[in-house]
Structure 1
Amino acid sequence: MLNAIKDWDNAYANGANISGGERWPGLWVEPAENYRKAMLAEQRARLDVAYGDGPRHRLDLFMPRESARGLVVFVHGGYWMRLDKSFWSHLARGAVERGYAVAMPSYTLCPEVGIADITAEIGRAIGRAMDEIAGPVALTGHSAGGHLVTRMICTSSPLNETRQRRLAKVVSISGLHDLRPLLKTAMNQTLRMDDRVAREESPALLSPIEGARVVAWVGGAERNEFRRQAQLLANIWMGLGAATAHVEMPDRHHFDVIDDLADPQSALVDALLS
């Protein structure tokens, strides 16, 4: 039986297709704020570290109690159009309690800039965090953030070779790896992509750097397009020589699929740090 997508906006609509979906992103605000307050009280947080001149060129850095074993960078989602680093602070807990420093950057949003500009900003943010923290680096991001961290391990990465050699693992959570379908959505009025940009910014259409290790993580209850996007990257990049894995978490939807980043004993944190 042949299948085709007719409503591309609905295919990529998350909140409207999740029971109680209107509760997000509000559900993240209080735990994130409480975590920042606790870490500031323990003098283990540095907020609004500048990595550029723009008003959103800031990152928060959360530190473990002992010397950091390495660095984790989490890049937020919101379809490159919404939200900032403040919604996700509590998700640093899992890696921090495993002994890693965690950096969480904001970035300039569309339509003020384009997606290629955001890719470059995230490269600068990761470089700034790397200057602060020694050791191996693991990258993770959610939705649009999954796209952005995966771009860091493409051969057209904004990270130089020295920084690339420090990258141990990327975990793209519900990441968008082929941007061409978004050309058919109403949101592209804000993203302002054309076919050239969509191709140049789609990790699934690019080549991974040598030694790339990537996990495409997605919720089993997510929209089919997000599940397909995860499978797509793992399959294509395996054929290009990367070490890949594809993981579907049963019953997790697009918003709660990231919750386990806050749990140091979770399978998601294990996947990120192993």
Structure 2
Amino acid sequence: MTGKTGAASGALYLHIFVLAIVIASELIGIQRLPIGIGTVIFLPILYAFALGIAFNPAIFKATGKFLSRDAVKLSGAMITVAIMPFIAKFGTTVGPQISQIIEAGPALVLQELGNLGTIIVAFPVAVFLLKMGREAVGATYSIDREPNIALIADKYGLNSPEGAGAMGVYATGTLIGTFVFAIMPPIVHGLGIFDVRALAMSCGVGSGSMLAACTGGLVAAVPDQKDIILALAAASNILTYATGLYVGMFVALPLTEWLYNKARPSERRTAA
């Protein structure tokens, strides 16, 4: 009974902390910071994320008196549940904009190949600069969201070096990706290089929190294009979930394995 009571009180305190963070973030509201080439837009989700980190019991010891380790684990599990209504809302925006989505058809499908950019950019850094071992395979073959983690878990196991690399990127993406995805779209849009539809498609990387931050920043920058931004971002995110797993399974992961074996042939001979 004592354990159950403690877990219940921990969950109650967790909800109170979350509610307080949400209220504080909404009171701050959307803030804009002109930086010359564009405008950085700070959304309430950024403040909530920062406050959530600040009050993490591992960082701010005082909250450890109220939030137990089990409560912290519960908060991680609740992210998937809490994001579902948001994803459902995005799904309702696809139908009314279906004609424009079809018009963007080939670009929307082929944008999935952009996920291979993680290999081009991150693999050389991981292997040659950071001197990572096989962790580099799991860390660089994708942006390591849920479907990608599942693929690594099935092929190598999460206790493997590849699993450690994938989970490291997953955690880093969750912690930092939201900030990056909230700030980048308005800045890139301010450069005037890319069509707003292309930027909307780039928001759909298979992460609910990144999708929310990216579309929020883009809509704040181009409010008159809200419907098409939300529709294309949602369609892109759905396609990433639908096709991203296969691109990772048949293209990205084998390619990363091949590159790693070429970069570290001695390890391959040792393993053989």
Q: Give the TM-score category using the shorter length.
A: under 0.3
The structure with the larger Rg is 2
TM-score, structure 2 as length reference: 0.23
Q: Which has the higher helix share?
A: 2
Using CA pairs under 8 Å that are at least 6 residues apart, name the structure with larger relative contact order, 1 or 2: 2
Query: What is the TM-score of this pair, normalised by structure 1?
Result: 0.23
Bigger proportion of residues as strand: 1
